[in-house]
């Protein structure tokens, strides 16, 4: 089956907009029980198909557990090298780690032995024509990597980065509240 066929099926099964919402000006994400409508910038629109194909490649749905796995997988495959879209992944991994830490870990561990789809540098048109089995083959690393000491250090550092990124707005608001509460600004 082609990636395009699988992607169309994935969107229907997960009740997502056609083409992953690439034509929409906003996208929705549910955090803390609240549906947030966020801007859908060009950099996200340009690669949303890649993120969605990652879900297919790893057999993950779009629940927070699935997103947690993909977040861990993206960290270990080097998705973080692709700024600014990596910020969305880092922040969502920070949130999903609170909900499904095992899924983030399992995704990170699996990603150590995979090549990220974004790093294949395949055009969207060619990716859509590709057979699923071919994509599975070209995303596997030749050399198998186990979770050793260095990989654990990487994982812990990435989780810390994700947590700081996710919690930064809350920490900033809390600090401002404390400083104004105790009249630090002499207002």
Indicate the domain borders of the chain. 3-181
Mean pLDDT of 21-35: 90
pLDDT (0 to 100) of residue 185? 60
Residue 187 has pLDDT above 60, yes or no: no
Query: So what's the pLDDT on residue 179?
Result: 75
Average pLDDT score over residue span 150-173: 93
Tokens of 164: 């700081």
- Helices 64-77 and 149-181, packing angle to 10 deg: 120
- What does the pLDDT read at residue 95? 96
Asked if residue 123 has pLDDT above 80, the reply is: yes
Q: Are 20 and 40 in contact (CB under 8 A)?
A: no
pLDDT of residue 57: 96
The mean pLDDT of the chain is 92
Residues 91-116 pLDDT 10s: 999 999 999 999 999 999 999 999 99
d(CA 110, CA 84): 24
For 81-92, the pLDDT digits (tens) are 888 888 999 999
DSSP 2: B
Q: Using DSSP, state whether 145 is helix, strand or coil.
A: coil
Q: Are strands 26-31 and 34-39 parallel, antiparallel or unpaired?
A: antiparallel
Tokens found for residue 162: 């994700």
Please tell me whether residue 163 adopts helix, strand or coil conformation: helix
């Amino acid at each position: 089956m082609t990636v395009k066929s699988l992607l169309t099926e994935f969107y229907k099964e997960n009740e997502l907009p056609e083409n992953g919402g690439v034509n929409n000006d906003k996208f929705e994400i549910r955090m803390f029980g609240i549906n947030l409508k966020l801007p859908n910038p060009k950099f996200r629109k340009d690669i949303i198909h890649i993120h969605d194909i990652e879900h297919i490649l790893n057999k993950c749905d779009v629940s927070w557990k699935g997103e947690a796995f993909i977040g861990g997988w993206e960290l270990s495959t080097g998705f973080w090298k692709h700024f600014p879209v990596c910020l969305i992944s880092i922040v969502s991994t920070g949130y999903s780690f609170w909900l499904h830490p095992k899924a983030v870990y399992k995704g990170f561990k699996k990603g150590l032995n995979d090549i990220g789809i974004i790093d294949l540098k395949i055009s969207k048109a060619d990716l859509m024509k590709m057979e699923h089995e071919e994509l599975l083959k070209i995303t596997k690393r030749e050399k198998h990597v186990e979770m050793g000491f260095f990989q654990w250090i990487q994982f812990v550092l990435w989780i810390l980065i994700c947590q700081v990124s996710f919690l930064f707005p809350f920490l900033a608001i809390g600090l401002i509240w404390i400083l104004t509460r105790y009249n630090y600004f002499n207002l």
